[in-house]
Chain A
């Protein structure tokens, strides 16, 4: 029997707070008295980015609200792996209704709280990218437009993972999914505009929009905390790699999320009332190839024939993001 070597330090992550920092600056997850909103024992896959993101986001929201939140969950992996009856991993008030209605159900929860003058209780809606950018999009836009007092968090793993990795409106170009197979002359997902939900959210001029990834969990905690300081509709879009759907190693979830930001494919920024207020500059810039080659959903770009045309196309998308969000600062280094 082989033994697992003990790791004393989590390498390559800023998730665990430095105990030398003042208490208020430490990671919420490092607090031994944190809430554990999504507790262990659930049925997510090894290396699931969504489970990680949801735990950090909701524990941050619990701390920010003095543990007074109600969470509305769309149908999807997060719902299925957390609540197979009679079990539940949720240690907070939680409601799952349908796939396409989480934002509207959250609106109803917020309305009921307002009518009952329970203004100290806050509402969070959450779902995957399918629930958010596709089937629940109308409900989400309605919730934004009315500026209902809801924080909606999208855990984006870029396809319908719960049903077996089918393409969603958030699936990136060229990616292989079960419905965009790596066959023919243009293998994988087609090139199009994609559905850029953070920008669509900004177009509603809601008080707060932010993006984050599971590579920088301190940043995710900070953004959820900041989101809870606003009233009205707020939106956070979290990139959460999916080892099963992306064809990556379970141990590479954090690494791949980091490469997504370092390549510029996934820009990390904040916006208020429709205007970008800050972006996270890239410390070490990498080519998109570094990101793509760790995922079998892009394997057809490298063999049997290398598709430089497609890789260049993806690089152009990353470069556009870098320019648009000003992701290169003086401290950025090229690798």
Chain B
């Protein structure tokens, strides 16, 4: 049903329509409105047979989720930023056990300095955790991806992070076709766990594995994660059939035909990028866009195929690896190895700094004539940073 609705509320409604049986909640901005919305839906009886647990930390949130999922319950939680980092030990544990937990990450910067606004430092830090990661471009896609996430997670028995930009999406009111209960019920079958804690058929879960078998266990986890490269597009196609709109999948190209330069990004910034690219294409510049929806597993082949005719790529990232540079770019280079495609990395939007059309237009134009450095921090106050560096050096 079409609604003028806050992104967080749309996600809460979509999650509730998936009938989770256990939800654990701990407040952290900008995620909090999602679990607030769910707490109402559980308490007023809209979401039946669901235990809503107010836990004492994010570490407990993921731990409760582990216990619940291992006992055969469809399980959901949400977090952001410091909260995601606080639960990291349990995040790895959940994927190690292959528990199909779905978690929203309302993307937010990591301190110090403390900062509550959006970038991708939090979820990017968990790219090697064994979770699948899906990034929403719009609130419509955020709502839809949650419905798909439960199906993907349960089909593979792997946990899924749905990442949506904090504030930019979570707090934005816009028109969303919220997935309806009857449609979701048809799309998402009841959860049948692969293995569950059951006194009648007791199993030991969580044994200590030594050097003689650990490599094999990790290799199997890698291969299982890669299976998602087939499952994610299949579920997106099923979703389109069931709901009549396209959402999700591995990657999404925009005006790629004839594009010599391709801008690559994840999440809501793709909207601004497309606006700028529209103007540049109108001015007969050969530029297109590639949005990455599935970042883990990384869709190497799909990216390589989408960039088959590109001469250069611009990777716009909302996080970076301190001491090296971009994160997404490393993955893109992996997909493009041997092709000789030029690449430029632009780090933008850190800690919620607005990414404006003007800044993007200037950068893209310069990059199209190879007039930019390999690594750029967009709109950096170079003078301020250098004067501070100098002052530190003098001390």
A residues at B contact (CB < 8 Å): 67-70, 72-73, 79-80, 83-88, 90-98, 100-101, 104-117, 121, 138-139, 141-142, 145-146
Question: Which DSSP category, helix, strand, loop or mixed, fits chain B's interface?
Answer: mixed
Shortest Cβ distance from residue B352 to the other chain A in the assembled complex, whole angstroms: 30
CB proximity of B237 to chain A, nearest CB, Å: 31
Q: Is the interface of A mostly helix, strand, loop or mixed?
A: mixed
Most A Cβ at <10 Å: residue of B51, B65, B73, B204: B204
A145 pairs with B206, CB closer than 8 A: no
**In the docked arrangement, what's the CA distance between A112 and B50, Å?**
9
* A95-B60 contact given A108-B68, A111-B53, A116-B73, CB 8 Å threshold: no
How close is B302's CB to chain A, nearest CB, in angstroms? 35
Contacting pair A111 B208 (CB below 8 A) = no
Q: Which of B124-132, B139-147, B195-203, B332-340 contacts A (4 or more CB under 8 A)?
A: B195-203
Count of A-B contacts judged by CB separation below 8 Å: 162
A111 to B67, CA, bound (A): 9
A93 in contact with B22 (CB, 8 Å):
no
**Nearest-neighbor residue (CB-CB) of B23 within chain A:** A111
Given the complex of chains A and B, what is the CA–CA distance between A202 and B1 in angstroms?
50
B75-111 contacts to A, CB under 8 A, are 75, 89-90, 93, 97
Q: Is the CB of B199 within 8 A of A92?
A: yes
Interface size class of B (residues with CB under 8 A): 35 or more
Contact of A85 among B50, B93, B199, B208 (CB under 8 A): B208
Name the residue of chain B whose CB is nearest to the CB of A115.
Answer: B21
Task: Find out whether the CB atom of A139 lies under 8 angstroms from the CB atom of B21.
Answer: no
A116 to B190, CA, bound (A): 13
Give the chain A neighbours of B57 by CB distance below 8 A.
138-139, 142
Q: Are B22 and A84 in contact (CB under 8 A)?
A: no
> Assuming A104-B63, A108-B65, A115-B73, is B56 touching A145 (CB within 8 A)?
yes
B210 x A116 contact (CB < 8 A): no
Q: A92-B199, A95-B70 are in contact. Are A101 and B205 (CB under 8 A)?
A: no
Minimum Cβ distance to chain B for residue A287 (Å): 42
List 27 A-B residue pairs with CB atoms under 8 Å apart, sorted by A's residue number: A70-B71, A72-B67, A79-B206, A83-B204, A83-B206, A85-B210, A94-B202, A94-B203, A94-B205, A97-B90, A100-B59, A101-B60, A101-B89, A101-B90, A104-B59, A104-B60, A105-B64, A107-B63, A107-B64, A108-B24, A108-B69, A108-B70, A109-B197, A111-B51, A112-B73, A138-B60, A139-B56
Rounded to whole angstroms, the CA-CA distance of A85 and B89 in the bound complex is 21
The one of A90, A98, A142 that contacts B55, using a Cβ cutoff of 8 Å? A142
**A contact residues around B72 at 8 Å (CB):** 112, 116
Q: A84-B208, A86-B207, A142-B56 are in contact. Are A105 and B22 (CB under 8 A)?
A: no
Q: In the complex, A270 Cα to B304 Cα: how many Å?
A: 67
Pairwise interchain contact B22-A115, C-beta atoms closer than 8 A: yes
For B22, the chain A residues whose CB sits under 8 A away are 108, 111-112, 115
Instruction: Specify which of A69, A97, A115, A142 is in contact with B206 (CB 8 Å cutoff).
Output: A97
A83 contacts across to B, CB distance below 8 A? 204, 206-208
CB distance from A137 to the nearest CB of B (A): 11
B54 contacts A by Cβ under 8 Å: yes
